[in-house]
């Protein structure tokens, strides 16, 4: 049970990282990833960029639910909530 939750959390982190890279690539207008992240941080919309990257977690969550892998889906949900709290805290400070 715990192993499946950790697998789900790991997959959620990977999906969020891939989503962040895709979002930065689409929004960045041809700039490289580090330039887009640096500009997002300076302009104050890095939290929004991270949140958009979490959209892939939604897809992985529903894939796990459809395959009846509830504990992995729970791990993806936990990491998504963690990312939401992190984004909220990041915007506050």
pLDDT band at 92 (very low <50, low <70, confident <90, very high): confident
pLDDT tens digits, residue range 16-68? 999 999 988 888 887 888 899 898 888 888 888 888 888 999 999 999 999 99
Q: Are 28 and 68 in contact (CB under 8 A)?
A: no
Quote the pLDDT of residue 20. 92
Range of the structural domain that residue 52 is part of = 2-92
pTM: 0.86
Quote the pLDDT of residue 44. 83
- Split into its structural domains, the chain has a count of 1
| Least trusted range by pLDDT, from 1-5, 50-54, 88-92 | 88-92
């Amino acid at each position: 049970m715990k192993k499946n939750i950790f697998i789900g959390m790991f997959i959620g982190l990977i999906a969020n990282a891939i989503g962040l890279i895709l979002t930065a690539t689409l929004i960045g207008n041809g700039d490289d990833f580090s330039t887009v992240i640096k500009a997002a941080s300076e302009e104050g919309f890095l939290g929004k960029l991270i949140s958009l990257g979490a959209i892939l977690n939604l897809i992985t969550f529903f894939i796990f639910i459809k395959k009846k892998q509830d504990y992995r889906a729970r791990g993806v949900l936990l990491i998504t909530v963690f990312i939401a709290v992190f984004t909220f805290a990041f915007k506050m400070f």
